[in-house]
Amino acid sequence: MALPCPKLSPLYQPRDPKASDLWRLIDEHFDSFQQVYDERFQAKYGYWRPIVEQSVAAFLKCGDLQEGFARVRCPDCDHEMFVAFSCKQRCTCPSCHQKRTLLTSIHVAEDVCFPVAHRQVVLTIPKRLRVHTRFDRKLLGELSSCAWTCLKAEAGRLLGREDVVPGMIGAIQTHGELLHWHPHIHVLVTCGAFTPEGDFLALSQFDMDRLLVAWQDAVFELYLAEEKIEPEVVENMRTWEHSGFSVDQSVFLPAGDQAGIERLIQYMTRCPFSLSRLVKVSDTGQIVYQAEKQACRAFPDPKGDGTRAGVKRNFQILSPLDFLAEFTQHRPSLCSGARAKGSHLIRPRSLLKRRLVLEQVTRYAQEGGSCYIRRAIGRGCGSFSQQPSVGDADQATLYIKNPAKWTHCVVQSVAAR
């Protein structure tokens, strides 16, 4: 006869997803939103993406025992409980997305990053150029390639070597504080670079002025190549007093700061939507969504195309359908191909996009060395190359420990759309 456990663990507390304002809002209004989308929202937000309907349908079933569950039993006292299946929808389900975020941050801090100093570099583009990424989402991956190219070139210039490779994990974020469209790149990059022999050459910081110029030139070159803008537009934008481009490296993490890396990765891969900031759903259905910070700022006017600032505020009031349009625009699209599951927002080399769980092959290093790692990455993440290509891919450097040295790999993966 099994002895009873002295006390049942209080760690697991089943949640009730249907109790959230977000669940009720989607359940009541999503069908109407889908019916009027082409007429009311397509001109601003782009064509209807089937992944939105699939993701929302899965979210509405998340945590529902009627949709399936796991039966868990304690081997000591035979106590049993049911655990409902989750939807695993990133950028739609705040709970499932947060789990991905926590797992990713632990993995990056413990298994990916070498114990050297790191910095966060944030790169933004002007509002005039952001609108194109909403209609052509492969630009997001190409922008991450531009970020990688600029950072790698700057590290090589400062170190006086062309054969060095920094470690980089980049994340595409498409959201601003009030759910508006604000694509930008967050990068976790080593303060230095690795040589082909595996030695690490440290850098105190990047030259922000030179990096800003390189970033601006790379983005203009990309948009011209993709025929999104004309040369006359570039000439005009170069005369602006405030270019709209920015780069920032203010966040520094000393060597060995795993806790800091975890916190930073959680910030980089956080869900676009926060339940805690959905302040109120009024009796008439109006949604009040609060900004992350209390300071009032001139956020874009939701009635416009995102290029003009509205009145200064720290909250946004939206109708249910307008809220769903802002909310669903951040869901990444499906990838192409037979194994398509979703666009990636972060990966080693990074980005993400947007499957948030990174490919991990470090544990096999002792068994097969760099050759095995090369094959594993090639099978799991796409093509393998020494020089990142500009295209529908996220780009970042992955450095993996093996018996002889640190192997530097560039993994190509499908970008967020």
pLDDT confidence of residue 284: 75
pLDDT confidence of residue 399: 35
pLDDT confidence of residue 36: 97
If one counts the domains in the chain, the total is: 2
Collapsing DSSP to helix, strand or coil, 396 comes out as: strand
Q: Tell whether 308 is covered by a domain.
A: no
Is 214 found in the same domain as 70? Answer: no
Q: Tell whether 60 is covered by a domain.
A: yes
Is 218 found in the same domain as 198? Answer: yes
Is 208 found in the same domain as 79? Answer: no
pLDDT confidence of residue 344: 54
Is 208 found in the same domain as 347? Answer: yes
Q: Please, what is the Cα angle at 257 between 254 and 263, to 5 degrees?
A: 115
DSSP letter string, 149-176: HHHHHHHHHHHT-SS-B--EEEEEEEE-
Is 391 found in the same domain as 368? Answer: yes
Integer Cα distance of 415 and 137 in angstroms: 8
CA atoms in the 13 A half-sphere facing the CB of 153: 15
pLDDT confidence of residue 335: 52
Structure-block tokens of residue 401: 């420990």
pLDDT confidence of residue 381: 34
Q: Which residue, of 59, 84, 109, is where some domain finishes?
A: 84
Q: Which residue, of 54, 84, 114, is where some domain finishes?
A: 84
Q: What is the mean pLDDT of each run of 10 residues along the chain (417 residues)?
A: 55 77 93 96 94 96 90 86 90 94 94 94 96 93 94 95 93 93 96 93 94 97 96 95 94 95 95 89 83 89 81 91 95 58 48 28 32 30 33 34 32 30
> 102: burial class by Cβ within 10 Å (0-12, 13-18, 19+)?
middle
> 145: burial class by Cβ within 10 Å (0-12, 13-18, 19+)?
buried
* Closest alpha carbon to 178 in 317, 344, 12: 317
Is 397 found in the same domain as 368? Answer: yes
Is 250 found in the same domain as 150? Answer: yes
Domain boundaries, position 36 = 17-84
Q: Which residue, of 53, 84, 115, is where some domain finishes?
A: 84
Strands (E), 305-367: 315-318, 345-346, 351-352
Q: Tell whether 302 is covered by a domain.
A: no
Q: Tell whether 11 is covered by a domain.
A: no
Q: Tell whether 231 is covered by a domain.
A: yes
pTM: 0.78
CA quadruple 288, 293, 298, 304: dihedral, nearest 10: -40
Is 177 found in the same domain as 56? Answer: no
What kind and span of H or E run contains 72?
strand 69-73
Question: How many angstroms from the chain centroid is the CA of residue 83?
Answer: 28
Is 64 found in the same domain as 158? Answer: no
Is 142 found in the same domain as 50? Answer: no
pLDDT confidence of residue 6: 53
